[in-house]
Amino acid sequence: MTSVQNRRARTRGGELDDCLHACATHSGKLVGSLDRRRIDLAEKLRQLLVAWSLAPAAAAPDKAAGATALLKRAVKGAAPAAPTIGNELLDALLAVGNKALDCGYDDELNLALVVSDTVLAQRKNSRAGWRLRARLLETLGDESGALEAYERYLKLTDDDGFGVGARITGMRAAGAKERELLRVLREQCPQATEFERGPATDVWAEGLALRAAGDVEAAEPRLVGALLAHAAEDAPVNDRQELVAQYLDLRRRSAGGDPAALTRLTGAVELWAEYRRLRMRGPVADPTFGGVQWMSLGEFRNQITGKSICLIANSGRVGASSMGADIDAYDLVVRFNSYRIDPKHTGSRTDIHATIHKHGFNWDQRVTTRLVFGGISGDWKHSLRNRLVPGAQQYLGDESLRWPVRNIGRLGNEQWSSIPTSGFNMLFLLDFLDVSPTLDLIGFDFYESGAYRMPAAMKMPITSVHEYTSEKEWVMQRAQSVTDMRISLR
């Protein structure tokens, strides 16, 4: 039995009360933690218990004392009645599961498995539940389980904004490349077949001991045999990667300056490098970004100078506005992230798509200009490489347009403590450049009327990392006129 199977056997969930008990118990373990990720998890656990305390009484007859009672039961180990799950409680559970996964520690991964099992037991067609399960199993190295979960997610969604399809393709291509590498290693060391039936761990240890003793010839077939045995046993991907990397490093040291040995090693290393690349980002159809023209801050200024601009909120108010014709009358229409098109209400044209780099909603929609925002340069570049659709945009903002509030406005955490939204980054940029005679915000009520997004994005929570109150205050301080639907800054 693999380590993944052992871990899953210890942490099977499904019953909501058992899951809430586990969450309440884990919340107590995080008190006083200085780890930023665990602090964030503790906050999501607190929000979960609050959601539980506010859930309809019919969901659990014995829930009169709410979160306090749950915490007491967690300590005493009493068995509560089995409740059903509502949407708010489901969202809170998913938030806990995702934060636990982000922590990456074994205790938190076990908690995430319990949450994942419970969500899918309660809602077998939960898109977010299957995506959480897939990411979790991939982290644990259970590739076959992860692929199955990713495929279940894809069957439940029409809009693959998280790039799951590309992830599946990358994982399958990487698996094929791993098999090719192992085939090459078996051909280079035919004696390895004597040892590939394992046990893999013992054979690997024998090989390392022989190498340490200087008997490279006897060690080589055992090491390769152990790699083959691990693959045959479907050991966690993470473990297999670590052993292959260690083996190739040992080969490199042994090769020294021997041309023949280096030639044999080079082929294996090339396969390994391609495998790692596929695991990290999947196949790249067009490494030149489809002939896109990179655009700097100055070039963007030239593009918008003298143009009337409207920014369209993804709000419920826009979705019922009947302002489509008015919106399309502007010179430039700016939309955000997972915007939804309904020509009567939202207008039909998108000239500039401003989006956070973390998801890929609407990246396949043709626009003149796409500005992708992100706080960390490396993550931003990785997302561009993975998510950009060749031919879907003529211009793409470069590094100078990556994070306007921080990098152009120089507003650090002291001046602006929260993470700026895509909308605020875009608005700040346009206000800073100050070259547009008309700058209007349509439907910006800062989600007071709820969200109006692509169907696949409607389940995404309105995240708490943004400070909408501060952004609204900034807007109102600069507003020249305000109506129910339109805020004019120029």
Distance CA 146, CA 155 (A): 14
The single-letter DSSP state of residue 1 is -
Distance CA 272, CA 400 (A): 35
User: In a 3-state reduction of DSSP, which class is residue 312?
Assistant: strand
The closest alpha carbon to 361, from 464, 468, 453, 463, belongs to 453
What is the layout of strands, in order, in the sheet containing 352-356? 293-295, 393-397, 367-373, 352-356, 332-336, 308-312, 438-442, 486-488, 481-482
Report the predicted TM-score, pTM, of the whole model to 2 decimal places: 0.67
Q: Is the dihedral of CA 425, 431, 435, 441 positive or negative?
A: positive
pLDDT at 59 > cutoff 60: no
User: In a 3-state reduction of DSSP, which class is residue 467?
Assistant: coil
Position 466 scores a pLDDT of: 47
Residue that the structure tokens 């209400």 belong to = 345
Distance CA 63, CA 65 (A): 6
The closest alpha carbon to 226, from 216, 239, 213, belongs to 239
Rounded mean pLDDT, 58-80: 48
The closest alpha carbon to 421, from 293, 330, 314, belongs to 314
- Letter for the amino acid at 135? R
Indicate the burial class of 34 (C-beta count within 10 angstroms; 0-12, 13-18, 19 or more): exposed
Bridge partners (DSSP) of residue 352 are: 334, 369
Rounded (to 5) percent helix, strand, coil in the chain: 60, 10, 35
Position 84 scores a pLDDT of: 64
Binning pLDDT at 50, 70 and 90, where does residue 257 land?
Answer: confident
Distance CA 215, CA 211 (A): 5
CB 89 within 8 A of CB 67: no
Distance CA 15, CA 121 (A): 8
Bridge partners (DSSP) of residue 393 are: 367
Position 445 scores a pLDDT of: 86
Position 7 scores a pLDDT of: 43
Distance CA 385, CA 286 (A): 9
Locate all alpha helices (DSSP H) within 191-346, ordered by sequence: 200-212, 216-232, 237-255, 259-281, 297-304, 316-319, 324-328, 343-346
Position 63 scores a pLDDT of: 46
Residue that the structure tokens 């949450």 belong to = 115
Tokens of 154: 């894809």
Position 357 scores a pLDDT of: 94
Distance CA 115, CA 138 (A): 16
Locate all alpha helices (DSSP H) within 314-404, ordered by sequence: 316-319, 324-328, 343-346, 377-387
> Per residue in 200-218, pLDDT tens?
999 999 999 999 999 999 9
Rounded mean pLDDT, 238-243: 92
Position 273 scores a pLDDT of: 93
CB 323 within 8 A of CB 300: no
Position 439 scores a pLDDT of: 97
Binning pLDDT at 50, 70 and 90, where does residue 71 land?
Answer: low
pLDDT at 371 > cutoff 60: yes
Binning pLDDT at 50, 70 and 90, where does residue 284 land?
Answer: low
The closest alpha carbon to 332, from 315, 347, 352, 346, belongs to 352
Stretch (H or E) spanning 418: none
Q: Helices 127-140 and 143-155, interaxial angle, to 10°?
A: 160
> Per residue in 322-358, pLDDT tens?
999 999 999 999 999 999 999 999 999 999 999 999 8
